[in-house]
């Protein structure tokens, strides 16, 4: 692996899952990070990604610097721009400088949700890849969250009781408009992994980009989708078609105990952070089929598998 931005960068997902399992069993078992440096650059908030990636780097023997880029110099991404506005340095210099300070560069940069073409070009992440001379890891870009998705594969692999579980990715209400990244990436990885039957349930107008969720796996009937499901993966996302739009007219999309009875005693999954009693009821989140804390734990092992491969 030379970078980690999408499922395309992981030619063998089961090998990564097995590597993550090995680190979970023996966190300090390999130290490919000794005398190496990992830099984490965050343009947006984080709890899990920040802590688990730092922990992963340290357990591999690496040193790690985390930088809150939202409080730093404004970075320019447009080529040929006359920089007489608010941006103080160009990504060409920023990426070039940081590459001299580290062996792996990890970046989080959410979408604008204003300009679909710009967001779906993944310009920020791609610019760091273009101008960095070290491997780049996505900590959630404008379109994807691959470390979360690898974690989700690991968590499903650990908990499935049938070879090919039914997995439902369901839209859920939220008071703010959120990125499509987690959901795009989850669908991308489930399909690339090829070991689950994936259905995506969302209200009309909220279909994900067809490249991630083709029409034949999408339904607008959440209750029908839940029938016989082994895993329910909940997430809000804003609209792709009417880009960035959301609704406060949520309808009956929150996940609660009654809906979970439609499933095959399914596990409940969410990447966190989650809005209680908006996305999911307390009863489901605190219930014994909720995997949200196990998922957050698995973030460390997934990050360790990826960083070990790149270091
Ligand atoms: N990294 C995991 C999710 C990050 C982000 N969630 C959020 O912004 C939630 C914020 C809130 O609940 O206000 C998202 O949906 O992509
Ligand atoms: N799941 C996840 O990425 O959480 P953070 O946004 O807190 O890093």
Please give the average per-residue pLDDT across 241-250, as a whole number. 90
CA dihedral 227, 13, 51, 212 (to 10 degrees): -50
Q: Is 100 helix (H, G, I), strand (E, B) or coil?
A: helix
Closest atom of ligand 2 relative to the 140 alpha carbon: 3
The count of other CB atoms within 10 Å of the CB of residue 109 is 24
Given a contact cutoff of 8 angstroms between Cβ atoms, the answer to whether 298 and 47 are in contact is no
Q: How far is CA 192 from the centre of its chain?
A: 15
Closest atom of ligand 2 relative to the 139 alpha carbon: 3
Q: What is the pLDDT of residue 180?
A: 98
Q: What is the pLDDT of residue 248?
A: 82
pTM for the whole structure: 0.98
Residue 271 near ligand 2, beta carbon < 6 Å: yes
Mean model confidence pLDDT for the chain:
97
Closest atom of ligand 1 relative to the 110 alpha carbon: 16
Q: Cα Rg for the chain, rounded, in angstroms?
A: 19
Residue 122 near ligand 1, beta carbon < 6 Å: no
pLDDT band for position 133 (50/70/90)?
A: very high
Which of 225, 221, 206, 213 is closest to 186 using CA atoms?
Answer: 213
Place of tokens 């802590």: 51
Which of 260, 17, 306, 254 is closest to 159 using CA atoms?
Answer: 17
* Strand segments (E) across the chain: 37-42, 63-68, 75-76, 89-90, 104-108, 136-138, 166-171, 197-201, 218-219, 231-235, 267-269
Please give the average per-residue pLDDT across 106-111, as a whole number. 98
Residue 166 near ligand 2, beta carbon < 6 Å: no
How far does the centroid of ligand 2 lie from the alpha carbon of residue 273, in Å?
7
pLDDT band for position 261 (50/70/90)?
A: very high
Residue 271 near ligand 1, beta carbon < 6 Å: yes
The count of other CB atoms within 10 Å of the CB of residue 265 is 10
Residue 275 near ligand 1, beta carbon < 6 Å: yes
Q: What is the pLDDT of residue 247?
A: 85
Choose which residue among 299, 300, 302 to substitute to test ligand 2 binding: the one with the highest number of ligand atoms within 8 A of its C-beta: 299
Binding-site residues for carbamoyl phosphate, in ranges, read 46-49, 73, 108, 145-148, 271-272, 299
Please give the average per-residue pLDDT across 125-129, as a whole number. 97
Please give the share of the chain, as a percent, with pLDDT higher than 70.
100
d(C-alpha 143, C-alpha 1), whole Å: 20
Which of 101, 147, 149, 108 is closest to 128 using CA atoms?
Answer: 108
Residue 148 near ligand 2, beta carbon < 6 Å: yes
Choose which residue among 53, 108, 140 to substitute to test ligand 2 binding: the one with the highest number of ligand atoms within 8 A of its C-beta: 140
Please give the average per-residue pLDDT across 45-64, as a whole number. 98
Ligand with smallest separation from the Cα of 181: 1
How far does the centroid of ligand 2 lie from the alpha carbon of residue 80, in Å?
34
Q: What is the pLDDT of residue 250?
A: 76
Residue 251 has pLDDT above 90, yes or no: no
Residue 236 has pLDDT above 90, yes or no: yes
Residue 46 near ligand 2, beta carbon < 6 Å: yes
How far does the centroid of ligand 1 lie from the alpha carbon of residue 178, in Å?
6
Q: Quote the tokens at residue 127.
A: 């610019």
| Local structure of residue 71 (DSSP, 8 states) | G
Cα angle 161, 12, 154; round to 5: 35
Closest atom of ligand 1 relative to the 49 alpha carbon: 1
């Amino acid at each position: 692996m030379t970078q980690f931005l999408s499922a395309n960068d992981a030619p063998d997902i089961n090998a990564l899952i097995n590597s993550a399992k090995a680190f979970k069993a023996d966190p300090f078992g390999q130290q490919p990070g000794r005398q190496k440096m990992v830099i984490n650059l965050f343009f947006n908030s984080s709890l899990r990604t920040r802590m688990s990636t730092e922990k992963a780097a340290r357990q591999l023997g690496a040193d790690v610097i985390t930088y809150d880029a939202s409080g730093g110099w404004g970075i320019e991404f447009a080529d040929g721009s006359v920089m007489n506005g608010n941006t103080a340095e160009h990504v060409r210099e920023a990426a070039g400088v940081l590459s001299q300070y580290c062996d792996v560069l990890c970046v989080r940069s959410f979408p604008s949700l204003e300009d679909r073409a710009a967001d779906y070009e993944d310009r920020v992440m791609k610019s760091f890849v273009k101008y960095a001379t070290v491997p780049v890891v996505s900590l959630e870009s404008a379109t994807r969250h691959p470390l979360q998705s690898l974690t989700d594969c690991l968590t499903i692999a650990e908990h499935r009781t049938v070879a090919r579980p039914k997995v439902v990715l369901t839209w859920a209400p939220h008071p703010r408009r959120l990125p499509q990244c987690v959901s795009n990436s989850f669908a991308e990885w489930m399909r690339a992994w090829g070991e689950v039957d994936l259905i995506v349930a969302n209200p009309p107008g909220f279909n994900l980009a067809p490249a991630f969720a083709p029409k034949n796996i999408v339904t607008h009937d959440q209750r029908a989708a839940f029938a016989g499901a082994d895993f329910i993966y909940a997430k809000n996302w804003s609209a792709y078609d009417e880009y960035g739009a959301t609704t406060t007219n949520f309808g009956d999309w929150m996940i609660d105990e009654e809906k979970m009875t439609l499933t095959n005693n399914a596990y409940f999954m969410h990447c966190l952070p989650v809005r209680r009693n908006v996305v999911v009821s307390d009863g489901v989140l605190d219930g014994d089929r909720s995997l949200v804390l196990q998922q957050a734990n698995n973030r460390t092992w997934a990050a360790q598998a990826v960083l070990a491969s790149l270091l």
